[in-house]
Amino acid sequence: MSAILPLTPSHPPTYRDRKRWLWAMPLFMCLLVLAGPTAHMLGATSQFWFFAPALFSYIGIMLMDVVIGEDLSNPPEEAVPQLETDAYYRWVIYLTLPVMWACTAFTLYYLSTHDLPWYSWLITVITCGTLMGALGLAISHELGHKRDALSRKLGLIQAALVGYGHFSIEHNRGHHRHVATPEDPASSQLGESIYRFMFRELPGAYFRAWDLECERLERLHKSPWSFSNEILQGALITICVYGSLIAWLGSALVPALTIMIPWGAFQLTSANYIEHYGLKRLKLANGRYEPCRPHHSWNSNLIASNVITFHLQRHSDHHANPTRGYQSLRNFEELPTLPTGYLGMFLIAYIPPLWFSIMNPRVIEATGGDVDRINFVPGQRERLMRRYGLAESPKTASNPK
């Protein structure tokens, strides 16, 4: 999917990203949420158009992945500086944000001012939440890792719009430090359902972010209740934005927001659940964990779902090299690999027995059955070891916890 243009004596080597124009696809994903309201305004009586965006997001993209397949190619290292400084990749993200919010605001307006069957109303609210959570937080994730203040602030604002203003703090300073260890509330464990994980990850991520921000402010000799606290900044943005929408559209908007915001946050929880499921960094003799490597994350090279999520699914390289832009992320050989893209994996995760039957054997295969490399859910280690025919390593057996 990528190539180097031929070298000529008068021109230096130039890299051509063959997915370059596909990165604008999220802009069109934002417009999908308008399918139902637009069709309804044009006189369509079928309720199908309200369901079409969700069907495309969860089923259509998965089918596109099957048809289009994978991209296993990598940009050459000498081309990475060119990619990192190409303003196009940054502006695709910048332009997606206002389009996303214009589409979401219009849809919320439409839901508040028109009578719809309850099922069409509900699926549209869920579609909005998926858009803001899955795509919006993927953008926040990308921006939050940038070095410039504008990108980081835009990442904070976008996360705050799904009530998750603490995201960058928790993710950058907490999750990246403790990823793939039992100490990380955002790394799921073998045998842990997404619903059990949700009640551990959501509060755990918030409290870790608060502690980290308080530590930062203490070093600056500032109060945790000052406006310098980015968590409080995010909360204020959330209150002001949705308070203004309610003041404009009235109490009819409240039920939609009550569903949309938690569902949007749950999309991040769903991504966290699948990204490191069951994988564990080895604990060294000095009590520390080995450095994070590409094999400590689940990876996917499927083209359609990767373009939609700005390469978030090349998660292995992201954790090994968190400052790389999405356009520069690489594939590596013999990585733990997901069977579908993220949205397809979300649907599988929502049915825990199906998830366990698909992913537990993959964890065993990815770790070579080494129990020291498996992040077991507490209280189920022995049962799961018996279930999959695993044995304690000599080191662990001689030093039981």
Each residue's pLDDT tens digit, 90-102: 999 999 999 999 9
What pTM does this model have?
0.92
What is the per-residue pLDDT for 399? Answer: 54
Non-local (6+) Cβ contacts of 353 within 8 A are none
Q: How confident is the model at residue 393 (pLDDT cuts 50, 70, 90)?
A: confident
What is the per-residue pLDDT for 132? Answer: 86
The mean of the pLDDT values for the chain is: 92
Listing DSSP states for 276-332 in one string gives STTB-PPBPTTSPBPPP-GGGS-B--BHHHHHHTTTTT-HHHHHHSTTS-GGG----
What is the per-residue pLDDT for 133? Answer: 87
| CA separation for the pair 75, 36 (Å, rounded) | 39
Listing DSSP states for 256-268 in one string gives HHHHHHHHHHHHH
Neighbours of 339 (CB within 10 A): 13
Is pLDDT above 80 for 185? yes
Is pLDDT above 50 for 326? yes
> pLDDT (tens digit, 9 = 90+) per residue, 60-90?
999 999 999 999 999 999 999 999 999 999 9
Q: What interhelical angle do 136-144 and 254-275 show, nearest 10?
A: 60
Torsion sign, CA atoms 401, 201, 186, 314: positive
Is pLDDT above 60 for 1? no
What is the per-residue pLDDT for 2? Answer: 44
Enter the tokens of residue 292: 């994070």
| CA separation for the pair 202, 268 (Å, rounded) | 10
Q: How confident is the model at residue 3 (pLDDT cuts 50, 70, 90)?
A: very low
> pLDDT (tens digit, 9 = 90+) per residue, 111-169?
999 999 999 999 999 999 998 888 999 999 999 999 899 999 999 999 998 889 999 99
Listing DSSP states for 112-160 in one string gives HHS---HHHHHHHHHHHHHIIIIIHHHHHHHHHT-SSHHHHHHHHHHHH
Is pLDDT above 90 for 50? yes
Enter the tokens of residue 196: 């059990």
Q: What share of the chain is helix, strand, coil (3-state, %, to 5)?
A: 65, 5, 30
Cβ distance 319 to 297 under 8 Å? Answer: yes
| CA separation for the pair 278, 298 (Å, rounded) | 10
Is pLDDT above 50 for 106? yes
**Could you identify the residue written with the tokens 């993710």?**
171
> pLDDT (tens digit, 9 = 90+) per residue, 215-228?
999 999 999 999 99
Average pLDDT over residues 187-194: 98
H or E element: which one contains 243? helix 230-249
Average pLDDT over residues 251-255: 93
> pLDDT (tens digit, 9 = 90+) per residue, 133-143?
889 999 999 99
H or E element: which one contains 33? none
Q: How confident is the model at residue 16 (pLDDT cuts 50, 70, 90)?
A: confident
